[in-house]
Structure 1
Amino acid sequence: MAILNKKLISRRTVVKTSLVGAVFLYLSTSGCKSGEAVSTLDRGLGCRFLDHKAEDLFYYLSDSLLFNFLPKDKKEKEKVLGEVLQGIDSYLYSLPSHTQKEILEAIQFLNLSAVRWYLFGSSSNWELTNRDTVIKTLNQWKISSISLIRSIYFLLQSMVTIGFFETTYSWKHVGYPGPGHALGLRHG
């Protein structure tokens, strides 16, 4: 009986999450497309899951979230971010198809011009987004009272983290010598 007296979730939270979820689903599945090309840059990465618009989304999110870890040299930075995108693509490609569809809906939603303008301050191009605005928006999502918004934040953040730290190319930029330094050590 004590369990029945405890509120596990408030009605207000259910209503807020339901409304945000309904809007999100409507916009991402109602045929809304992100309009003009998000970027003119073809990185030639050969991604199997991410299209060019999704590549741009993760490229600029990665650039914003990883700016402390990225090299200052532009060509080296492009190479690292290309490796991050390929890591993200590889991970997403391996997921079940129903999960892939949900992720594609989230990407389509974030690529809508009106959504991009409202959240990140630029409706026409990811390149024009301000790093501080992206970080501020994502930090607000991390502590949002709406679980759907928090879920989108953790999806984006985990994809960038997985893409960066899984590739051996980025290890040197964070000072990790690789697993070879531990060879010969006995555990236990």
Structure 2
Amino acid sequence: MTILDKKLISRRTVVKTSLFGATFLYLSTIGCRKNNEDQTKERVIGCRFLDPRGQNLFYYLSESLLFSFLPKEDEEKEKVLSEVVLGIDSYLSALPPHTQAEITEAIDFLNLGAVRWYLFGSSSNWELTDRDSVIKTLNSWKMSSIGLIRTIFFLIQSMVTIGFFETSYSWKHVGYPGPKHALGLKHG
């Protein structure tokens, strides 16, 4: 309260700034779901929860986080990343409705051109966003002094990692032969 006592900042200024910030946040999310023209590639992979914009978001975040594990051939890489997005969708579709609503809002917020430009350096679409820029942003989230931002990073990383390693389609790309190789082993 010493700042307020010295009249460096008035309560009125604090209230006006808070109202302006809340209004800006509200206006920035109006109509998020209606603007689909910035999407260049539509994926139809059979998701239950994620809409095409959410699928693209997780597709390109997954590509950035998993690039060293992904196959070099475009068709094979597309298949692996589609399986990752399906795994993420499976996880998200099992969450309670109120959590799903919050995740939908977060996806819509990250898909706003201004937000994508500010965070990842490209406002046009995810396909044109530079992988190095995405990695740099995600690494800054991982090292952030703000706990919520770190939590968001680790949630995204966990969903992508689980989506990649849970599907048997990805196993051959990391050299895992699958659980059947251990069935003949005797333990004791």
| Normalised TM-score (structure 2) | 0.81
Kindly indicate whether the alpha-carbon contact (under 8 Å) linking 1:33 and 1:112 is maintained by their aligned counterparts in 2: yes
Residue aligning to 2:183: 183
Amino acid in structure 2 at the alignment position of 1:144: S
Amino acid in structure 2 at the alignment position of 1:60: Y
Distance 1:103 1:29 in 2: 16
Amino acid in structure 2 at the alignment position of 1:163: G
Return structure 1 stretches of 4+ with deviation > 6 angstroms.
Answer: none
Residue aligning to 2:143: 143
Distance change (3 Å), C-alpha of 1:48 and 1:38? farther
- 1:30, CA displacement in angstroms? 4.6
Kindly indicate whether the alpha-carbon contact (under 8 Å) linking 1:38 and 1:56 is maintained by their aligned counterparts in 2: no
Is 1:104 aligned to 2:93, yes or no?
no
Kindly indicate whether the alpha-carbon contact (under 8 Å) linking 1:141 and 1:150 is maintained by their aligned counterparts in 2: yes
Amino acid in structure 2 at the alignment position of 1:94: A
Question: How many residues align structurally?
Answer: 167
Distance 1:176 1:43 in 2: 28
Q: Which has the higher contact order (CA 8 A, sep 6+)?
A: 1
Is 1:31 aligned to 2:30, yes or no?
yes
Residue aligning to 1:47: 47
- 1:95, CA displacement in angstroms? 1.1
Distance 1:150 1:32 in 2: 28
For residues 79-98 of structure 1, the aligned pairs below 5 Å read 79-98=79-98
Distance change (3 Å), C-alpha of 1:187 and 1:38? farther
Aligned CA-pair RMSD: 2.2
Structure 2 portions without partners, runs of 5+: 1-17
- Counterpart of 2:181 in 1: which secondary structure? helix
For residues 163-178 of structure 1, the aligned pairs below 5 Å read 163-178=163-178
Distance change (3 Å), C-alpha of 1:62 and 1:106? same
Residue aligning to 2:10: none
Amino acid in structure 2 at the alignment position of 1:45: I
Amino acid in structure 1 at the alignment position of 2:110: L
Distance 1:30 1:172 in 2: 41
Distance change (3 Å), C-alpha of 1:28 and 1:164? farther
Residue aligning to 1:134: 134
| Normalised TM-score (structure 1) | 0.81
- Counterpart of 1:152 in 2: which secondary structure? helix
- Counterpart of 1:48 in 2: which secondary structure? coil
For residues 50-65 of structure 1, the aligned pairs below 5 Å read 50-65=50-65
Structure whose alpha-carbon radius of gyration is higher: 2
Structure 1 portions without partners, runs of 5+: 1-18
- 1:38, CA displacement in angstroms? 3.6
- 1:102, CA displacement in angstroms? 1.7
CA deviations over 1:23-47 (Å, ceiling 9, x no partner) = 6x93598525164434232221111
Identity %: 68
Distance 2:51 2:27 in 1: 16
- Counterpart of 2:105 in 1: which secondary structure? helix
